[in-house]
Amino acid sequence: MKLLAKAESVAEFIVTYFFRQSSGTIQPVKVARELSKVMLKNKQVSIAHVYVPNLYRVYLHQNDYSILESFGETFRTELAKHLYDEGKKQGFTFLTPPLVEIKVGKDICPGGIDIKTEFKYSLVVPWHLEEENNSDETEDIEKTTLLVDAVKKVSSLEPDLSRKSRFYLEIIKGNGAGKVCYLDQKEVIIGRNQDCDIIIDDMEISRQHLRLVYENRRWFVQDLGSTNGTYVNKLRVDRYMVNPGDRIKAGQTHFRFNIDK
């Protein structure tokens, strides 16, 4: 990670130096600053959450667009992660992790910028939040709640219950560690109740805590109004599309969603 951070710092220096040499062109730091302003300006307050847009379209002059677009998806992803970090600091809620698009706008002068935003419930983004490889039980879990149908880049592996491959949950921490529960039906409810499909002996899990549901050839985790919440890869979620290898936490019980090929 230190090597990656160093490489990113060098890249940032190169980009900043390059833009300083070209007066009249828009600098990347200005784009990031304007995106943050637009996010704050367009927040929506509900009873329990403050929502901010998750889709940002940045319109630039043709010359500025050509320069910024040459950096490709990496630059757009860094802008999106910047927005996410800023929103998280403010306690805001995104419907999905943000997506930044860069386009050529009409009647925009060199160095100018116009940003349009949207709230989109089903937005697939080409990046995901990295899970730290840390097994320390005392580590804090991020409290950001995402109401999301799809947040990750669609995997080339699409679930298909008609195939011989079987999806399963493995308990990797907590009571029953090592147990494997195969997902052989399209809806699986997890909780303490005896009528749940997967019964977990964990007092921090609600009677009906969460469910896994198979829809449109993909698996989703959905919290069922639990007291302590449902987490996927450290994010507290209401609904979340899961991919093989994702970790799910309910109470003190940790699962890994995977496929038996």
- Domain definitions of the chain by residue range: 25-118, 166-260
What mean pLDDT is reported for the chain? 80
Spatial distance between the Cα atoms of 94 and 146, rounded to a whole number of angstroms:
6
Which carries the bigger pLDDT value, residue 15 or residue 167?
167
Contact 204, 228 (CB under 8 A): yes
Contact 107, 53 (CB under 8 A): no
Q: What pLDDT shows up at residue 38?
A: 94
Q: Which tens digit of pLDDT belongs to each residue from 49-106?
A: 888 999 999 999 999 999 888 877 888 888 998 999 888 888 888 888 899 999 999 9
Does the domain formed by 166-260 have CATH 2.60.200.20? Answer: yes
pLDDT band for position 27 (cuts 50, 70, 90): confident
Q: What pLDDT shows up at residue 71?
A: 79
Q: Exposed, middle or buried: residue 222 (CB in 10 Å: 0-12, 13-18, 19+)? A: middle
Closest among 97, 99, 53, 72 to 11, alpha carbons compared: 72
Of 25-29, 117-121, 215-219, 238-242, the range with the lowest mean pLDDT is 25-29
User: Quick one: fold of 25-118?
Assistant: hypothetical protein PF0899 fold (3.30.2320)
For the question of whether the overall pTM of this predicted structure is more than 0.85, the answer is no
